Structure 1
Amino acid sequence: MADSTAPLPVVAVGAGSMGRAWLRVLTGSPDVTLTGIVDLDLDAARAAAAELGVPDLPVGTDTVTLADATGARAVVDVTVPAAHHPVTTDALFAGLPVLGEKPVAATLAEALSLVAAAEVTGTLFMVSQSRRWNPQLARFRHHLGRLGPVGTLSVDFFKAPRFGGFREQMAHPLLVDMAIHQFDMARYLLDDEPVSVYCEAWNPPWSWYAGDASAIAVFDFAGGSRFVFDGSWCSPGRETSWNGAWHASTEHGTTTWSGDDDPVPPDTAAEDVEVPDHDGIAGSLAIFCDALRRGAVPSGEVHENVVSLAMVEAAVESAGTGQRVLLDDALDRSREQAVREERREDVRAVLQGWTSVREALLRGGR
């Protein structure tokens, strides 16, 4: 950023329901100035601008063109997952840092292409894994740190949303559209990385989803912990928090978190726990802007975030094959797919140059 004290000029890409939630955050943030809205549907972009009370805000259908015209120096990508790869690639190669909604891309192969694009351009790409900024989650992580090694970390996630639209037609709506949040939270809580997963997915007979709306997944982590996800999106009755209901069994005790209230501490001692200043997508935006000001690597930088998407794809693969899946195998297969599909020679060269995908992700962005 040319002036670290001035608001960062940004364009927002995507004027759908999630895009409009982001637009409200962007216009209310002291860290940024919204210079324009990009959407293939210009009427939707104009309607979104009118809702914000700025009907004359510039709109366009091309991200880089509108950024150039309005002086934007960063992009907030809130498009559908299928558009994440082209939108982010174009922005990165135009020298525009990107803050993108989860998932990083529609497929793990496309996500690895974006990792390589970030390396080629040297431009920041951060994924908004917004639940990472929940202050209660930070307290829960602190409690875990006081209790020694974690044997089992588990989360129950039971909701009954009737979205309509594309989610109800997906093959794995729960795993693909929702579970990435809990998977990513588990990585944050354990401060460790997954090694393998065994998953079963099914659709209860009363389900209003076409695909498997229920799943149980067991992940092995490198440090020896097990993470268990047990959830359903067609579970009417006593529903859990959208964050899930968490339970951790450790060497020195047990701690729980309802997902909506402060977590239960391991004892009654007074604690001074450092927690994030912001929550949700506003927290993601604040972290992104701060990283650009300081030239720092934020949590959620694409190298670090990709493993959460790898957990999703590996779980889906396990559910389909009935076999335990190694995360490194899933990463390697996706790299091979990314190399085959890549159109940019410079990006393909980076992908081919990785001796290990896992090692590339661990060292990249640092």
Structure 2
Amino acid sequence: MSKQHRIVVAGCGEMSNVWIKELLKRDDAVIVGLVDVYIGQAEKVRDAYGLECGVYTGLEQAIVDTGADLVIDVTIPDSHYEISTTAMKHGCHVFGEKPMAATMREARKIIETADATGRSLSVMQNRRYDVNIRGLRELISSGTIGRLGMINADFFLGPHFGGFRDVMESPLILDMAIHTFDQARFIVGADPVSVYCHEFNPPGSWYKGNASAVCIYEMSDGSVFSYRGSWCAEGVPTSWEGDWRIVGEKGTAIWDGIHAPYAEVLASELAADDAAEKKFIRDMVRIEVPLNWSGKPGHEGCLDEMFQALKEGRPAETDSRDNIHSMAMVLGAIESAKSGRKVMLG
């Protein structure tokens, strides 16, 4: 039988509901404490789920009282550094929401704390956990389309959230684009080197801040990742997973974020055909992508990986040491948009 982790949930806002619902399904997790600066909010969540646990306004006291070994951080980004470092210094691993911190300096100090304490922070990047993106990643890593030259992702949706997103300075990049940026890193197996970003708010936008952006990243494998996105684009939407075109030296892979990905590769790569080399437009062959991944999708799949990593004593796929590169893509894009110049990442 797997170890049952004693869990304190820090932050009892809207996002805590998503985590608590998934945690209650698991045999290896028991919620022993809820923390919120407003004690009434913690009591409300406790009663809504029929939890028999303590409620607290301070994380340190909650850990001491409950003997917790795992903290779920669903507080606001500005609190992530304090919550995660406090938890790790008191012997707890941390599962948290993105972004892992509010600044790169805080993110680096979180990793330093993890190294010093032997504890870890794993970040919820649920869009990695999908059979189609796993198949696309396998296709790319197999070399089927050869060395990559260009990765393109389009993200166009028009959600009317209301609330805090409507008044954020950079709602698309800060609140959503990290998912697509993390997907790009995951799919191609490379990290960002530099970014140039133009951020803007188009006519008809119901957001106060910039809800659209175009970003160009140079990646560590020599490829270029291009992101075009808008959160105020009504009509003909992409999926929430984005619409992808990945161009390699031998062909192109396509994924619309919904259906199974596929590729078209040079026919001459599959059969000896010297004549094909002389054609103006060479013949291509369609390759269907095998979908072999059997994990659970979304939030549940990411949680499975996090808990399995703890069991095996290894870093999770979305460990802070990996996720800091996705965070750098976000903060670098915002810095570039403000400065009007290319920003080096590292």
Q: How high is the TM-score relative to the length of structure 2?
A: 0.89
Instruction: Give the structure with the larger strand fraction.
Output: 2
Q: In 2 relative to 1, CA 43–155 (structure 1 residues): closer, same or farther, beyond 3 Å?
A: same
| SS of residue in 2 equivalent to 1:10 | strand
Say yes or no: does 1:302 pair with 2:320.
Answer: yes
Asked whether the equivalents of residues 199 and 216 of structure 1 are also in contact (C-alpha less than 8 Å), the reply is: yes
Superposition map of 1:82-231 within 5 A: 82-145=78-141, 146-231=144-229
Shifted more, 146-155 versus 212-221: the winner is: 146-155
Distance 1:272 1:261, change over 3 A: closer
Q: Which is greater in Rg?
A: 2
Following superposition, the deviation at residue 273 of structure 1 comes to 4.5
Contact persistence 1:171–1:212 (CA under 8 A): yes
Q: 1:276 to 1:63 in 2, by over 3 A?
A: farther
Preserved contact between residue 133 and residue 276 of structure 1 (Cα < 8 Å)? no
Shift of 1:205: 2.0
Corresponding position of 2:260: 262
- Displacement of 1:180: 0.7
What TM-score, normalized to structure 1?
0.84
- The yes-or-no answer on 1:279 pairing with 2:275 is no
State the AA in 1 paired with 2:123. V
After TM superposition, the structure 1 stretch with the greater mean CA deviation from structure 2, 272-281 or 214-223, is 272-281
1:80 & 1:165 partners in 2: Cα distance?
14
> Structure 1 residues 174 and 100, CA, compared in 2 at 3 Å: closer, same or farther?
same
Unaligned stretches of 5+ in structure 1?
A: 329-366
Residue of structure 1 in register with 2:273 after alignment: none
The count of residues paired between Structure 1 and Structure 2 equals 324
- 1:70 to 2:88 alignment: no
Q: Which amino acid aligns with 2:127?
A: R
Contact 1:171 / 1:211 at 8 angstroms: preserved in 2? Answer: yes
The aligned amino acid for 2:319 is E
Q: CA deviation at 1:53?
A: 2.9
Partner residue in 2 for 1:315: 333
More helix by share: 1
Find the aligned partners of 1:147 and 1:271 in 2 and give their Cα distance.
12
Residue by residue, what CA displacement relative to the aligned partner does 1:265-323 show, whole Å, maximum 9, x if unpaired? 44666765442512222222211211111111211111111011111111111111221
Find the aligned partners of 1:28 and 1:163 in 2 and give their Cα distance: 28
**Which consecutive residues of structure 2, in runs of 5 or more, have no partner in the other structure?**
265-284
Q: What is the root-mean-square deviation of aligned Cα atoms in Å? A: 1.7
